[in-house]
A and B are shown apart, each in its own frame.
Chain A
Amino acid sequence: MARILAVDDSASMRQMVSFTLKGAGHDVIEASDGKEALGKAKGTQVDLVLSDVNMPVMDGLTLVKELRALPNYKFIPILMLTTESTGDKKMEGKQAGATGWLVKPFNPDQLLATIKKVLG
């Protein structure tokens, strides 16, 4: 049972992630871009952030950098939901401070397995 911030500009992806996580008993906060996510993260403490990379207004990488700059998000796991399977995109995420990634497309089971991996 954790509080998870799910960030994606695609409503269908957001709904899928949110529905899956809520089904597993988690508390989910949704945001449709990095800026909204940052605002929500400041407003409450979440245990895990799942973020898309390509988003309008503020992209995922900037969000990670901004979050890591906040004292209470220094060590919080942040996973990038990415379709980039090439190595350099993952490295960009890592350099920005992301914990890891989950490559799209993923199904609910894969999502839950990854969440379990992070939250124990």
Chain B
Amino acid sequence: MGIDLSQFHQVFFEESYEGLDVMESALLNLQPDTVDSETINEIFRAAHSIKGGSGTFGFIDVADFTHVIETLLDEIRSGTRKITSETVDLFLQSVDCIRKLIQQHDAGEPCVIPEAVELKKVFEGILSGGDSENESVSSPEPASTITEIDDQTGDGSQADSPLTHGWKIYFKPELDILKTGNDPLRMFRELASLGALSITADISQVPPIGSIDPEACYMAWELELDADVSKSAVDEVFEWVVDESELRIEPLGSDDAVSDVKPEVLVETAIEEITLAPTASTPEVVVQPEEMTSKPKKDASKVEVSSIRVGIDKVDDLINMVGELVITQSMLGELGLDFTMDSLPRLLEGIEQLSQNTRELQESVMRIRMLPISFTFSRFPRLVHDLSRTMNKKIELKLTGEQTELDKTVMEKIGDPLVHLVRNSLDHGIEMPEDRVKAGKPETGTITLNAFHQSGNIVIQIIDDGAGLNKPRILQKAIEKELVSENDNLSDDQIHDLIFKPGFSTADQVSDISGRGVGMDVVRRNINELNGSVEVESTEGQGSVFTIRLPLTLAILDGQLIRVGDKVYILPLISIVESIQSFQGMLHRVVGGCDLLRLRDEYVPIIKLSSIFNIKSTTQEMEDGLLVVVEGDNMKVAILIDDLEAQQQVVIKSLEENYKRVDGVSGATILGNGTVSLILDIPGLIKLAGVQRYEYKMANNDDDRAA
């Protein structure tokens, strides 16, 4: 019967990835000196499941590879082999190998992975090497049982010759056979399916009725099987009980009266019965797997289906909320049927309830897309373990707030910047062990990844107790690269912030740890693209804290509605620093450049939305308008608008997907009155307005001269 096993492949891949993650983190937790049996067990179990599944579903390369690892793990588990940090590293490498092998099957293009072959050889070498105290005991044993069986079948091979027509069996089970769920009758039935069977019961051992234990089996049987079957077929019937029973299987004398034809016919019908029975009893089986398998196959070939696992409580919440919504709707519906002005308060109340329902519904729908940040954090223990080894540093990684949830898309995009920041802390932050000791710090450095929610944002911190940022070196580099001038009087924070400037890198040599051609400016840009921000605080000699703030979701934005002419635009609320109404005295006109706003001790370039978007402003004079100071791409600009309108949450619709990319605009939304409003992208606007960093610098230099 054709059950197509490929329908279970996806589930197998997913659980294997999970299993590998479990193995990885358990391996990282493993202290070679004090082997914790539960941790070893966990690793073993994961390897064991992957091996079992890959064998079942036909991924032989995975099964073979995992088998070697499992064998070694089993020896460690049973205590016959010691674990060393080298073996832990080998296991970690093999986790990567298994993951690669599975990924290839997952992608549908399995091929040989050289390092897997290599690694397998190494493991086989370890296993055959004399280290194992158990070796002499464990390996020959199965071999000997196999030969034993071979011998038996060798004896019985005459069974396959036409001379033998059947078997004479003596079977005396142990008393407790029934208590293991083995029923002699079942075995006899199975024998009978092979050929004609005659049974003689030996009841000589049955005690008198008064002293019978009803759960014990006192009987023995003599059986004669007239069938042209091999001895192994008979052995198989008794496979589960042979060790506890008295069992003798001998060929029936060839002088047996049974004719040649009869057993053959019997065997044939018996076989027919076996093969037919399952299909006949279940006609739907043949159809079902085909239906089910055709679908995932199609999907898989087209796109990689991304899915999330959602806790049932979240779904229940959602259903609950929808229920509330339905109640409100029916209440409003009833109210609408015969509406009089008297029922106005009830109408307003209903609408209030509706808006609350909507808000709650929105929140709970958003929660469905939220996953704990542990999904991202989980890759770091391995990263830190490997990197600290290559750099000969001693580093402990602490993870806190792993259960903090954030949107799946945000999570996917924050992974790379986080890796970069952690690599940066490892490479530039934490000192070499001897330097740490000299500085009076513990030899082992600590990097902490922390996450928490704060006023509608998720905050992720990368904290290290390393040397801190080297201010003089940063300043010197920035001056070399002409990012600042020597005359600039910068605060500590401003100096620290220089590391995020494009073209800035203090690493004297490009190391393979963090100098991957991607600077901190890219980290900041990637985070800004998520409507988030990153900043650094650092104390020399004590360490640094990188703080990333991100919105919980990319789908909804806290927006400030602004008006220019008859058009309404939206500014992300997070980017607004302040807005200024009467700024006559603060204006600083620049001929041929852009006007500047003198804001306390800095000059801020002014961007006129009306001229960028070519719309007619309702205010004639610049001074009648309103300036909104915003921060984007690490610089401040003031945007000239006609008026501020409401603040509200807006649902972001992609302009790129529905139309095309427009500079200065990050998306669009639909307002309450049904009109479309564009969401402004501050860094894009700055580029569009042609306000370059050059001018920003000049503005600051200007300021210096003025001061």
A residues near B (Cβ < 8 Å) are: 9-13, 15-16, 19-20, 23-25, 52, 54-56, 68, 74-78, 83, 85-87, 91, 94, 97-101, 104-109, 112-113, 116-118, 120
Contact = CB atoms under 8 A, between A and B. Distances in A.
Q: Which 4 A-B pairs have the closest CB atoms?
A: A105-B55, A100-B240, A99-B181, A12-B12
A113 B289 CA distance: 19
B1 to A, nearest CB: 7
A12 B244 contact: no
Contacts, number: 124
A85 to B, nearest CB: 7
B409 to A, nearest CB: 26
Contacts of B63: 105
Nearest to A86: B142
Interface stretch (B273-281, B368-376, B489-497): B273-281
B63 to A, nearest CB: 7
Contact of B181 (A9, A19, A75): A75
B45 A15 contact: no
Contacts of A109: 1
A55 B181 contact: no
Contacts of B284: 23
Contacts of A11: 11, 14-15
A93 B557 CA distance: 59
B281 A113 contact: no
Which of B52, B243, B284 lies at the interface centre, i.e. has the most chain A CB atoms within 10 A of its CB? Answer: B52
B278 A24 contact: yes
A108 B45 contact: no
Q: What secondary structure prevails in chain B residues at the interface with A?
A: helix
23 contacts: A9-B45, A10-B12, A10-B53, A12-B8, A12-B57, A13-B56, A15-B8, A23-B289, A25-B281, A52-B52, A55-B45, A77-B182, A83-B51, A87-B145, A98-B180, A98-B181, A99-B181, A100-B182, A104-B55, A104-B56, A105-B55, A118-B186, A120-B189
Interface residues of B, number: 50
Which of A12, A19, A74, A113 lies at the interface centre, i.e. has the most chain B CB atoms within 10 A of its CB? Answer: A12
B215 interface: yes
Contacts of B179: 68, 74-75, 97
A43 B682 CA distance: 62
Contacts of B49: 9-10, 13, 54
B485 interface: no
A81 B282 CA distance: 24
Contacts of A107: 5, 56
Contact of B53 (A13, A20, A68): A13
Nearest to B12: A12
A15 B182 CA distance: 26
Contacts of A99: 180-182, 240
Contacts of B178: 75
